Amino acid sequence: MILVLNFYFIGTWRLFDMKKIFTLFLVLPIILSAQENSRIGVSLGFGTSDYDFIEIDSENETIEVDSSHSTQYLGVDYGFGNHTFAVTTAVADLEEVNEAGSYYNDSYYPIRSAEIEFDDFNLTYTYRLNSSWQVGIGYNKLTQDYHKNYIKNIDFEGIGLDANNQYTWTYTDLEEATSDGLTIFAGYVQPMSNNLFATARVGFTQQDYSTEAVWTEITSGFSPEFDSCLSGNGCPSGFAYNGPQTAGLNGYGYEGNASLKGDATAAVFGVGVVWVLNQQNTVSFDFAVRSFDYGELTLSESSSATGYFSGGDTQVPTVDSSPVQSELEEDYSFFSVKWRYKLN
**Amino acid 238: pLDDT:** 79
Helix (H) or strand (E) holding 29: helix 18-32
Q: Please count the other Cβ atoms lying within 10 Å of the Cβ belonging to residue 243.
A: 12
What is the tens place of the pLDDT at every residue in 279-307?
999 999 999 998 888 877 888 999 999 88
- The angle formed by the CA atoms of residues 301, 304 and 308, to the nearest 5 degrees, is 155
What spatial distance separates the first Cα and last Cα of the chain, rounded to whole Å? 11
Separation between Cα atoms, residue 247 and residue 111, nearest integer Å: 27
CATH architecture of 18-342: Beta Barrel (2.40)
CB 254 within 8 A of CB 219: no
d(CA 155, CA 167): 7
Amino acid of residue 223: S
77 and 3 Cβ atoms separated by less than 8 Å: yes
H/E element, 44: strand 39-56
Coil/strand/helix, residue 310: helix
Q: Say what the pTM is.
A: 0.81
Is the pLDDT at 314 greater than 70? The verdict is: no
What pLDDT, in 10s, does the model give residues 109-158?
Answer: 888 999 999 899 999 999 999 999 999 999 989 999 999 999 999 888 76
Percentage of the chain beyond pLDDT 70 is 84
Q: How far apart are CA 188 and CA 299, in angstroms?
A: 40
15 secondary structure, DSSP code: T
Q: Is 105 exposed, middle or buried (0-12, 13-18, 19+ CB in 10 A)?
A: exposed
Is the per-residue pLDDT at 318 higher than 80?
A: no
Can you say whether residue 226 is alpha, beta or left, with left for phi > 0 and alpha for psi between -120 and 50 degrees? alpha
Q: What is the pLDDT of residue 2?
A: 36
Strands 62-80 and 318-324 turn out to be unpaired
Q: What is the pLDDT of residues 15-28, one digit of tens each?
A: 334 444 555 555 55
Res 316: pLDDT: 47
Distance of CA 268 to the CA centre of its chain: 17
| Residue count (the chain) | 344
pLDDT category at 244 given cuts 50, 70, 90 is: confident
Q: Which of 5-9, 42-46, 137-141, 312-316 has the lowest mean pLDDT?
A: 5-9
